[in-house]
């Protein structure tokens, strides 16, 4: 009996090793490398975009935010600076948002509210905080450092005809888990361009929390192989609320002066 159990353990270990070897075979790169490529694939040198964000509640009632955004990759190739102006709805029209990202620290953020007539420095958001009332959190939009998570390649499978790596990402420590609000993420990453097509999020208690689908992938910087998903939909499975973010117009590689990313840019109504 004891011999049978030991044999079973050994067989089990061999099967697990085979599965791991299969995942790490030449055709299947390391999970961390895949997520690193995913992290960089949307880092466009400069971008001007008009976006529409639809907030749809569980009864189908829709609210709409239209914004225009200007962003530029900083010299370190990781952080971006961006200016966002809200065009609609009427009561927040003219609101401006400036963010200077710092991958190794808290981002610098300012908001300009036309009614206040002055810019106000904001406290850096927790990554789990909602982005302007939507179902996207700040951490969903500005991805955390790759090494803040442990990544495991689960399998490969096709989504909408595209071969994808399926990768599970678990926060490396409790702080990251608490800050992100996630105990686990499962991402479907396209094998050909490393852009995600689907991400499933689990809350800190391990329950299914949100699902994001990213579609209409567009190659925007051919020389650096940078891609953008022109449509992203995030569904909160616990509330039934969803947010659809669509790029209506994009311009890539435009010249942007560094002086653009100052509070005076957001103070122009």
Q: Contact residues for another protein (CB under 8 A)?
A: 55, 57, 61, 63-64, 88-91, 93, 100, 106, 108, 110, 115-126, 128-130, 132-135, 241, 258-259, 261-264, 269
DSSP string covering 8-54, please? HHHHHHHHHHHHHHHHTSTTS--HHHHHHHHHHTT--SEEEEEEEEE
**In the complex, least distance from residue 77 CB atom to another protein, rounded to whole angstroms:** 21
Cβ(199)–Cβ(228) under 8 Å?
Answer: no
Cβ(38)–Cβ(30) under 8 Å?
Answer: no
260: DSSP letter: G
**In the complex, least distance from residue 189 CB atom to another protein, rounded to whole angstroms:** 28
State the Cα–Cα distance between residues 86 and 67, nearest whole angstrom: 4
Question: How crowded is residue 98: how many other Cβ atoms within 10 Å of its Cβ?
Answer: 24
Q: Which is nearer to another protein, 125 or 187 (CB)?
A: 125
**In the complex, least distance from residue 47 CB atom to another protein, rounded to whole angstroms:** 20
The whole-angstrom distance between residue 175's C-alpha and the CA centroid of its chain comes to 19
Q: Which is nearer to another protein, 56 or 167 (CB)?
A: 56
State the Cα–Cα distance between residues 167 and 141, nearest whole angstrom: 18
Q: Which residues contact 10 (CB under 8 A, 6 or more apart)?
A: none
State the Cα–Cα distance between residues 201 and 224, nearest whole angstrom: 29
**In the complex, least distance from residue 268 CB atom to another protein, rounded to whole angstroms:** 8
Give the tokens for residue 104.
Answer: 């190794």
Q: Percent helix, strand, coil in the chain (nearest 5)?
A: 20, 45, 35
**In the complex, least distance from residue 121 CB atom to another protein, rounded to whole angstroms:** 4
**In the complex, least distance from residue 85 CB atom to another protein, rounded to whole angstroms:** 12
**In the complex, least distance from residue 155 CB atom to another protein, rounded to whole angstroms:** 34
- Any bridge partners for residue 70, and if so which? 48, 83
């Amino acid at each position: 009996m004891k011999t049978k159990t030991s044999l079973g353990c050994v067989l089990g270990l061999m099967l697990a090793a085979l599965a791991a070897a299969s995942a790490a075979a030449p055709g299947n790169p390391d999970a961390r490398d895949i997520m690193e490529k995913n992290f960089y694939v949307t880092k466009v040198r400069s971008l001007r975009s008009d976006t529409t964000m639809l907030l749809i509640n569980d009864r189908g009632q829709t609210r709409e935010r239209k914004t225009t955004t200007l962003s530029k990759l900083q010299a370190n190739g990781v952080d971006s600076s961006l200016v966002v102006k809200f065009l609609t709805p009427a009561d927040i029209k003219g609101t401006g948002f400036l963010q200077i990202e710092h991958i190794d620290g808290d981002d610098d953020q300012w908001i300009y509210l036309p009614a206040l007539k002055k810019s106000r420095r904001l406290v850096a958001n927790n990554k789990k905080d909602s982005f302007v009332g939507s179902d996207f959190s700040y951490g969903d939009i500005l991805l955390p450092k790759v090494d803040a998570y442990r990544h495991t390649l689960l399998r490969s499978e096709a989504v909408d005809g595209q071969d994808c790596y399926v990768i599970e990402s678990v926060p490396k420590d409790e702080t990251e888990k608490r800050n992100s609000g996630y105990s686990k993420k499962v991402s479907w990453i396209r094998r050909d361009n490393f852009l995600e097509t689907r991400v499933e999020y689990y809350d800190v208690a391990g329950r299914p929390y949100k699902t994001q689908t990213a579609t209409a992938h567009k190659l925007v910087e051919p020389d650096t192989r940078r891609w953008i998903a022109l449509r992203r939909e995030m569904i909160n499975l616990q509330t039934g609320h969803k947010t659809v973010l669509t790029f209506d117009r994009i311009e890539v590689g435009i010249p942007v002066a560094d002086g653009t990313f100052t509070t005076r840019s957001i103070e122009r109504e």
